[in-house]
Structure 1
C-alpha cells in the first residue's frame, strides 16, 4: 500500500474511532473512574509539583530503587493518559499541561546542559569498554579506539537554533530522597533543595541489577562521593573534571510521541486541533532528537563490527541501525571556561523498545513531522527496519525473542560462532540484550508493551506485514491465557532457546498481574477491531472485566504480590578497595557496602518493618503496589476497548 492510501485509511479509521466517543459505554466510564482515582490528591500519584511518581508507595525496588523516584516511562504514560482524556471529554488542556510538566522537570534546560556548544560531531565521545559485572569497573577511557562521526548534530542545530538536546533524562529523584538536589539549573543543590533532582543508577555492566547500583548525581560537582565525585567508580582516566550527563530511555520518548499522535487525531475530529498544535510541534521536536537512539554507541559502522580497534568509525548514516536502541546519552563539562561535550548512542536494540507507530507518525502525521533535514527519511527507514526486526525475531510459536547488538558484550567482542551465520544487517542476535540480572526478555510484559504498538500500527494503516506478525503472536498468547470464572491467568516469565531463524519460547510461569494483563487486553482489542477476530475481542473483554471486578482498591486497580526479591536489601554492592565517599546524608560509600547501607533512609519508611522481618528469617512480605504506568495502563485499556467497540 502506498503512503498516500495509508494516510487516507488512517484518517478514515481514526474518524471512525473518534465518532464513537460520545456514545457512552461502560468501558469509557471505567476510564473516567480510574482517571479520577489517579488524579485524586488523596491517593498520592503526583508530587506537589505535579510530577508523576513511579508509584504511590515508597518502599518499592525494581528499575527505580524507590517508589517516589520517577522515570520518563511514567511521564510518557501520563501524557498518553491525558491524550485519551481529551479524546473522551474533548478537553485537551490536561494533555498540554502534562507535556509542560514533562518539559519543566525532566527535559534538561540549557543551564543544566550548558557546554554543548563545545561538542565536536567529528569525535562524539571517547571509548570506554563495557564489562560484565560491577567488580570489573572502573573502565579505562581509551582515546586510541576509533569512533565515528555524528551525522545529525548540525542539522539539529540548523533546525532548532541550539546545540542543546531536547529529550527526557530517564530518572528523577522527585522528593530529593538522596539529597543531591540536582534540580533544573542548580547543580550544587543539596539535601534541602526543593524539587525533582536528576540522578542516575545503572552504569556498570550487564550483571548490575538494581540491587548492585551506586546512585549518583547527573551533575557531578564533586560535592558528594569521593575526591572525584562518583566518576572514578565508573571510568578510569588520568584526571577528572566536574561534569553533567544525562541518559535517555528511548521507548519512553517514543511513547510520548505515540500519545501525541492519538491526541492529534482525536483533537482534529472534535475541532480542538489548534488547542494542542504547540504541544504537537514539541512532540515532533522530541522525535527529531530521538534519532540518536538509531545509532551505534560510538557511531561505528553497523554490521559485523568486531574488535574495538578494527571496527571503524562510521560516516554519514552507516553508523545507523535504525532501531530504537536501549539508550542514548550526552554530557559535558561544568566549567564553561574550558568547555567540552560528548554524545553516544547504543549498539544494542531490544524488540520490546520498538515503536513502529511512532515511526509511522513522524513520517505521515503532518503536525508531527520533525524539522531536521533528514529526519522524515530516517524514520521511514526505521519503520521498515523495525518491522523487519520483528520478523527476524519472531519464534515459530509467535512470541518475539530478545534483540540484536552491533557491539557484542558492549565492547565489540567476537560473538559465539553460532551467532555469526544469520545476523540482522550484521548485528548479532542476543536473547537478553543489555542486562542479564534478571534477563531482559524474561518478563512477559515486554511482549504486550511492544506488540501493542505493532497492533496500533495495524489498526491505523492496515499494514499487511504487521498483520502477519500479529496473527502468529495473538494465536500464541490466546493459547496461554486461561479463565476460571472472572479470574484470569496470563504468562509471567519466558525462557528462550535457539537462534534465528530457529528461536523457541517456553512459558515458565503465569500471573494475574493487572499491568501486563491490561497491556495484553489492549493489544488484542486493537487487533480484533481491525481483523474482526471475535475470539481476540472476547478475551480482551474478559481480561478487562476480570481485573475490574476482582482487583478494585481505593487507589486504583491492583493485585497483591509477594516481594520475594527483597532479601536483596542486604545484597553486597561492589566498591573498589580503598575507595571512600559519602552521600549527602552521611551514608558512607566504601567496601564492604550493601544496598541498604547506601540507603539508610529506607529504615524510616513505614513499610520497612515488613522487610526487616524478612531479612531476619521471616516470610517474604506482601504488598499491593500502585505503579503509575500500570494504573494508567488500566485506564487506557478500558478506554481503548470502549472507543473501539462502543459497548
Structure 2
C-alpha cells in the first residue's frame, strides 16, 4: 500500500458567481442581500460614492474579477487557477485550481467586507472552500483506523523520477503522532480539516468519472527533480479504474501488493493564508461593530489552524536534529519531532475498504523560507477569536512564531534577501549531508528545498509573499525582530526596483545564490557574510508586484519609510496606468519553457496503463501524449508552431491569485497610506 506521498506543490502556489462590479468597470449589479434591482443599484451608487480613489480601484478590479463574463469562476463558484486554459506551471492546466486560489478567494472577500461592510461574501467564500476543497467524511472514510503510534510506513525519497517506484521499508521506525488524540478530543472526529492542494475543477482529465464535477487530483510524487513536465496526473481516490492494474500506485511506491485507497496532500502556506485572511476579516468587522457576522467562519479558521500543526512536524515524526540515517534518526515522542516551521506539505490517506481499514499521516521534513507566515502564527497563538480548541494548539503556534522569525534571520543573506530553507531529512531519506553544512536547531541548510527544476529559491515571488506576512505582523505588533529583517530586506529590494518617468516599473524576478549561512546560534546570530544573492533579471509581473507593494505598504505605515511608501504607490499606479485590460491587470509573457510540452515522462519499462480518455501511459509517454486534450485547446497552434521550430509563444495570462494580490494591495494602500 502507499503509506506516504512525496507531494510537490506549486508555487514555483474571491468569490462567488454572485457579482459585484462597481465603478468604472460597471460590468454588473452587485447582489446585495434583501435588495431588489432598484435597491441593488442604489447600494452600488452608495458604495461607489463613499469610496476613496484607491478603494474605488479595488472595487473596479473586484468587479472585473467577479464578472461571470470574464471567466475566473466555474459554475460552482470555484476560482480557476487562470482564465486561460493553456497554462503550465505548478497546476498543469488553467482550469485546475489550488488551495492557494481558494485562500485568495477568502482574502478578497474579506477585503470586500472591509471596504463595503458586507460580510456575507466572506462567509460564502469559506463555505465554498469547505464544500469543495476540504475532503468530506466520504472522501476520507477510514481515519478511525489510524494508529498514532505508527503513523506511516517509511520509504526513501529518490533524486530523480527514474529511481521510482521507491520501496516501502517497514524496518525503519516512525515516531508517534502527538496531535491525533488531542484533535479528536477537541473536535469529536478522526477526520482532517485541511485543504487538499490541487483540484481538476472541470474534470478535464476525467479522473472523477463521467461528468464535470470538481475532482481531487495530484501530480508531483517523485522527488526534487520531477518538474511539472515530468508528472503523471492521478486521482486522490485510486480505485484502479484508471491507470494500470494497480491504478497509478506502483508508479510511485514499491510494495508486494496494492490496496484501493485515498490520499490527500495539504499546502500549508495556503491554509495559513486562509487563517491570515480570517484574522483580517475579524479585525475589520470588529472595527465596524460587525464581528458577530464573521465569528462562525473565524472559528472554522481556528480549527483549520489547529490541524495545520501537522506541517510543523518531521515527515515520519522523527526527532528533529542531527538525523543522518533512516535507522539512526530516533523516533520522536511528544513534541520533539516538531521543527515548528511551516513545511512544504502534510499528507494523509488510507484504505477505501472500510471493512479492512487502515490510515496514515505524515508531516514534512523540508521547510522553505517562502512558506512561513508569522502573522498566522501570531493570530493562532495570541488573538483570542482565532484560538484553536486543542489543549496545546496556542502554545505550539507561539513556539512556531518564535522559530519562524529566527528562521528568517538565519536565512537572510548579506544583501538582505531570504535564502532557501532547511531539512531534517537530507535528500528526503535521512542521508548524511556534506561536511560543513550549516544547521538550524540541528536541521540542515538546503539552498533549494523540495524541488530543483526550476530551483525553488530563484523566484522573487516567494520573497514578496513571505515578506508581506512579516510586514503585516510587524505592522500589527511593532515586533523588533520582524523589523530587523524587514529593514535589511526592503533596502535590498528597493535597490533593485526602478520606476520610470512614464510610470513603468521593474523589480527582481530571477535570483541566483552562492555560499551558505552561518550555523544558527540564537544567542549570537551570525552575520551570514558568506551567503549571497544576485538578481539575474527583472520583471513587471503584476501578481508579484501586488504582493511586493503590499509588503511595502505595511512596512511604510509602521516604520514611516518614505521611499517604501512612494514605491508602493508607484507600483500600484504603474499597473493601473499600463497593464489594465477588460479582465483585470496583466502583462504579456514569453514562454520559452513551452518547448517542454514534448518532454519525456518517465514510466518504467513494462508498466502500461491508460488515462481516462484513452491516452496510453507507458515508457514512450511524454507530457502531451498523456494530455492529448491540449491539442484541442484554442491556443495550441501557438505552442505547436514553437515545437516545430518557430519563436517562443507569448501569452497574456489572468491568474486568479495575481488579480487578487493586486486588489489586496489597492485595498491595503487605501486603508493605511491613502491621504
Q: TM-score, normalised by structure 2?
A: 0.91
Matched, 1:395 2:416: no
Matching residue within 140, 147, 161 for 2:188: 161
Q: 1:299 aligns with which of 302, 311, 317?
A: 317
Q: How far apart, in 1, do the equivalents of 2:161 and 2:402 lie?
A: 37
Local SS of the residue matching 1:198: strand
Residue 23 of structure 1: CA displacement? 6.8
Does the CA contact (< 8 Å) of 1:285 and 1:370 recur in 2? Answer: yes
In the alignment, structure 1 residue 547 sits paired with structure 2 residue 575: yes
**2:513 matched to which residue of 1?**
496
* d(CA) in 1 for partners of 2:49, 2:336: 49
RMSD: 0.9
Moved over 3 A (4+): 21-24
Cα shift at 1:194: 3.2
Q: Distance in 1 between matches of 2:77 and 2:51?
A: 30
Cα-to-partner distance string for 1:378-404 (whole Å, 9 max, x where unaligned): 000000000000010001101000000
After superposition, the Cα gap between the structure-2 partners of 1:379 and 1:22, relative to the gap in structure 1 and judged at 3 Å, is: farther
**CA–CA separation in structure 1 for the residues paired with 2:132 and 2:382:** 30
- Matched residue, 1:416: 434
In 2, distance between residues paired with 1:255 and 1:328? 16
Contact persistence 1:581–1:590 (CA under 8 A): yes
Q: In structure 1, what is the Cα distance between the partners aligned to 2:211 and 2:352?
A: 20
Which has the larger helix fraction? 1
Distance in 2 between residues matched to 1:38 and 1:67, nearest whole Å:
16
| Alignment check: 8 A CA contact 1:302 1:406 kept | yes
| Counterpart contact for 1:515–1:633, Cα < 8 Å | yes
1:11-160 alignment, distance < 5 Å: 24-160=51-187
**1:571 is the counterpart of 2:599:** yes
The answer as to whether partners of 1:49 and 1:195 remain within 8 angstroms in 2 is no
SS at match of 1:636: helix
**Quick check: 1:435 aligned with 2:471?**
no
1:22 offset after TM fit, Å?
9.9
1:23/1:646 contact within 8 Å kept = no
Worse overlay, 166-175 or 264-273: 264-273
| CA distances 1:151-197 after superposition (whole Å, capped 9, x unpaired) | 0100000000000000000000000000011xxxxxxxx1x233210
Q: Within the alignment, does 1:282 sit opposite 2:300 as a pair?
A: yes
Choose which of 496, 509, 512 in structure 2 pairs with 1:480: 496
1:646 to partner: Cα distance: 2.7
Which residue in the other structure is 1:447 paired with? 463
User: Per-residue displacement from partner, 1:228-254 (whole Å, max 9, x unpaired)?
Assistant: 000000000011000000000000000
Cα separation, 1, equivalents of 2:258 and 2:332: 28
Gaps of 5+ in 2: 1-47, 519-529
C-alpha distance in structure 2 between counterparts of 1:553 and 1:585, whole Å: 36
CA separation in 2, counterparts of 1:267 and 1:495? 42
Is the 2:506–2:539 Cα contact (8 Å) retained in structure 1?
yes
Asked if 1:603 corresponds to 2:621, the answer is: no
Q: Secondary structure at the match of 2:97?
A: strand
1:350-370 deviation line (CA, Å, top 9, x unaligned): 010000000000012111100
Q: Distance in 1 between matches of 2:269 and 2:97?
A: 15
Give 3-state SS (helix, strand or coil) of 2:349's partner: strand
Q: Distance in 2 between matches of 1:404 and 1:447?
A: 16
- Distance in 1, matches of 2:319 and 2:596, equals 40
**Structure 1 stretch displaced more, 495-504 or 100-109:** 495-504
- On the 8 A contact 2:603/2:617 being kept in 1, the answer is yes
- Structure 1 gaps of 5+ residues are 1-20, 182-189
Partner-residue secondary structure (3-state), 1:223: coil
Residue in structure 2 matched with residue 185 of structure 1 by the alignment = none
| Matched residue, 1:631 | 659
1:586 and 2:578 correspond = no
- Note if 1:616 corresponds to 2:644: yes
Q: Which has the higher contact order (CA 8 A, sep 6+)?
A: 1
Matches within 5 A, 1:331-480: 331-419=349-437, 422-480=438-496
Partner Cα separation in structure 1 for residue 452 and residue 147 of structure 2: 34
Cα distance in 2 between the residues matched to 1:527 and 1:105: 35
C-alpha separation in 1, matches of 2:472 and 2:336 = 30
Deviation readout 1:237-291 (Å, 9 max, x if unpaired): 0110000000000000000000000000001111111111110110000000000
CA distance in structure 1 between the partners assigned to 2:252 and 2:211 by the alignment: 26
- SS of alignment partner, residue 313 of structure 1: coil
Provide the secondary structure at the position in 2 that maps to 1:286: helix
Q: TM-score, normalised by structure 1?
A: 0.95
Once the two structures are TM-superposed, the CA of residue 27 in structure 1 deviates from its matched residue by 1.0
- Following superposition, the deviation at residue 24 of structure 1 comes to 3.5
